[in-house]
Every structure is written in structure tokens, then in C-alpha cells.
A and B are shown apart, each in its own frame.
Chain A
């Protein structure tokens, strides 16, 4: 099939950037979206032009490196997938496809479609951990039984891949879903109780300092999250925060 691509090109963080049109013929429906971009880049390199820079690594939907706002939706039209797992069979011959970077003040563009998501790392530095040293003599793993329901919920929250789609989807560029997933994982486990209050307060403070917007409960993040992280986590974070402050 043939596609018209409208791609954001921006040389570096200082550059202003603009949308540029590209034509691509011979796109196979079995290609992944990123393989389609590989083909485009191969052609660009062949013509002596600079290829389109985009983030990608594992290409199996787990590392969270790939991003892209495709036709106005993070990770494109399919649900519960990352861009690397999105296949071209979701598009039609003759389609025009808008490809833009994830937009947020806290995610400055590095080049073309690549953004700097280190704000997420810094939020984790603020408390996304349980303070336990590596010693080899922590207590036996089965010493504290954990209710399966809680363990499963903690796991579901922990499957967040930190891709930033929640921020990209949110009209406020809020990072609440991301932060709430980490806070929830630990809040649900007995190991996380000791630092529970500090964690919620510090991570929220860092989230605010990074310049993310506030949550207005639109639910766009949950709808676009490639891992289906639930809004109940955001309610839990609100609770944790309130609990920590009261």
C-alpha cells in the first residue's frame, strides 16, 4: 500500500522544527510500524538525506523505548500495543499518517521524534524503591505470605513500561498514571509499607517539579496505556497522598 507520512522533523532541542511530508510506496501490511519507518530511513539514507530519528529498542513491546504520536494517538490506532507492535495492517492504502513526538514540557524534544523522558527517572529517584541493601540474608522470600489479590494488583501496576503514553495522551500532560503505578505497586505490598508516606509525598513533589500537568480524570491515559494500567491506581495515589498529608 501507499502512504503519505507527515513527520515532525527537528534537528536538535534548539531547532524550531516542522512537519515534513514523505511518500512511501510498497508498504506491506505485515510490517510493524517501525519497520515501515526503517524502510523510509533506508530510502532517505540512499538519497543522502538524514534519516528520521526515533526511539526504539526491544521491538517487542516491553522496554518502553518507542513512543510516537500517530494520527493523534500515542502508539497509534491499535489498543494495548506499543508502536513497535503496531502493524501496518491497521492502516489503509492511501492513508495520510501524522507522526509526531510525545508532547509535554517535561519531555523536551531531543531530535525529530525522540524526546527526553528522564523526568520519569527523576521521579523514580525521589522514592520509587524499597530501601533494602543487598546482603544475602534478607528474610526468606516465603516468610511473609501475600494475599494473591494484592500480589496480582501490585503486579498489574508494576507492568508499567514507562513509555510516557499516558503523558502524551493526557490533555494536561499529566504523569499521574505513571507515578500512581509505581506508588501502587509498593503500597499494595507489605515490603512497601515502611516508606509508604514518604514515597507518595516525594514522588508527587518531584512530578510537580518536572512540570507535568495535574490530573483531571479524563481517563485518556488509561485508554491509551499500552499495558492497560488502571485508573484505580490514580485513585490510590490520591489516597496515599492524602493519607500521607493527614
Chain B
């Protein structure tokens, strides 16, 4: 245990854990966006994929707890790091020039907090009702009263409120900014800075822009179409 606490209590160890959780979330996000995008192509396909995800024991009882753990860890460790980093400079500068680094890299806390606020909303919107339906009410059928698959309807329903759509758009813009720094930064943290770095940066930019953009597209698409 001392090796573990030794490694992960050190500044680099904590950063590596941050990076690992981040990369896990990046993969999850890709999956998430893919499933959601089905809702634009085919409501049936979306329903099936959602039902599979919502009822497969492997996803539900292995992947979901890991995901929750990763999310919680990423936030808690992020806040803890920010707190100790702030403590490392108790007296602030009277004059600070921020030109030496990107806005994204210097404000991961702001983008992170917005994403957290969004996640609260997101959980209230989808996750809490899901859990309630499945595990409290015990309805694992994935069907509405009328007997249709319920997932697509629920999704579309959420995006009828323009305020929610705006909130989603803002959150995804901030997510893009968060990813623009965070994705490639996690490679540096894990020690990768070599001839592949320029490619990593390109992939980061593509990912950080495309994925949130697709989420935004889905939200607006359903808002307009229904």
C-alpha cells in the first residue's frame, strides 16, 4: 500500500491518475456520441443501442461503476490539485500577463466547473429517471406504457425546452475548450512527447471540436425537428 500511496500522492502520480481517468472519459465520450448520433439517423437503432446499454449487465455493473468512479475521481482530484496549486502561490501578482499560455490551459477549472454543472443537469435529465425506472420501479422492459421503446421519445422530449438546448450548447463549447488542452496534455503527463506529438495535437484538435459539435448538432437537430 505504501508504494501505491507514495506514487499517487506525489504531484506527478496524481497527474498521471488524472490523465488516465481523462483518457478513459475521452473513450467513453466517443461511445456516447456515437450512440447519440444514431438518434439522428434512425430512432430504432438508437432505441436498440440504448436498451442494450441500459440493460446489459456488463455495461451496467462493470462499466458504469468504473465510469462513475472515473468521473468522480477526475473531478475530486481536479479540485484537490487546483487547491494545492493555488496554495503554491499564496501572494498573487499585482500584474499578471497571461500571454505565455493558452486560455484553455490556464482555465481548466472554469471549463471543468461548467461541465460539472452540466453533468448535474444531465444526470437529473437522464440518469436519475433511468435508475428510478429500472432499479426502483423495477421496469427493465425499456417500453413505454404504449408498448414502444421509450428511449428515443425521452431524448427528443428533453430537447423541446430552448433553455436546456442553450445550456447544452454552452456546456459543450466549454467541453471543447477543456478537451483542447486536456486531451493532448494527458499524453505529455504520461511522458509522451516525441515525434508523434504533432499528430497527437492534430487528433486532439479534431476530437475536441468534432465530438462536442456533434453533441450540439444532435441537440439542435431534435429541437428544430420536433
Write the residues of chain A forming the contact surface with B, with a CB cutoff of 8 angstroms: 6, 8, 19, 69, 71-73, 98, 100, 103-106, 169, 171-174, 204-205, 207-208, 211-220, 223-224, 231-232, 234-242, 245
Q: Give the CA-CA distance A35 to B192 in the complex, in Å.
A: 43
Interface check B61, CB cutoff 8 A: no
Q: Are A105 and B12 in contact (CB under 8 A)?
A: no
Min Cβ gap B168→A in Å is 27
Q: Are A171 and B106 in contact (CB under 8 A)?
A: yes
Please classify the interface of chain A as helix (H, G, I), strand (E, B), loop, or mixed, using the class held by over half of its residues.
Answer: mixed
Q: Give the CA-CA distance A104 to B85 in the complex, in Å.
A: 10
Q: Give the CA-CA distance A126 to B93 in the complex, in Å.
A: 30
Min Cβ gap A52→B in Å is 15
The count of chain B contact residues (Cβ–Cβ below 8 Å) is 42
Min Cβ gap A95→B in Å is 12
The answer to whether A204 and B106 touch (CB under 8 A), given A103-B92, A105-B90, A219-B101, is no
What residues of A have a CB within 8 angstroms of the CB of B108 in the complex? Answer: 216
Segment among B130-138, B139-147, B181-189 that sits at the interface with chain A: B181-189
Contact of B89 among A6, A105, A217, A241 (CB under 8 A): A105
What residues of A have a CB within 8 angstroms of the CB of B93 in the complex? Answer: 69, 72, 100, 103
16 residue pairs of the A-B complex, CB under 8 angstroms, read: A73-B97, A98-B95, A100-B93, A103-B92, A171-B85, A204-B12, A213-B87, A215-B11, A216-B81, A216-B105, A216-B185, A217-B185, A238-B16, A241-B12, A242-B12, A245-B13
Chain B 1-25, CB-CB to A under 8 Å as 1, else 0, gives: 0010011001111111000000000
Chain B 182-212, CB-CB to A under 8 Å as 1, else 0, gives: 0001001111111000000000000000000
Q: Give the CA-CA distance A236 to B197 in the complex, in Å.
A: 13
Contact of A220 among B85, B101, B191 (CB under 8 A): B101
Q: Are A104 and B10 in contact (CB under 8 A)?
A: no
Interface check B58, CB cutoff 8 A: no
Contact of B188 among A71, A72, A235 (CB under 8 A): A235
Q: Give the CA-CA distance A215 to B190 in the complex, in Å.
A: 12
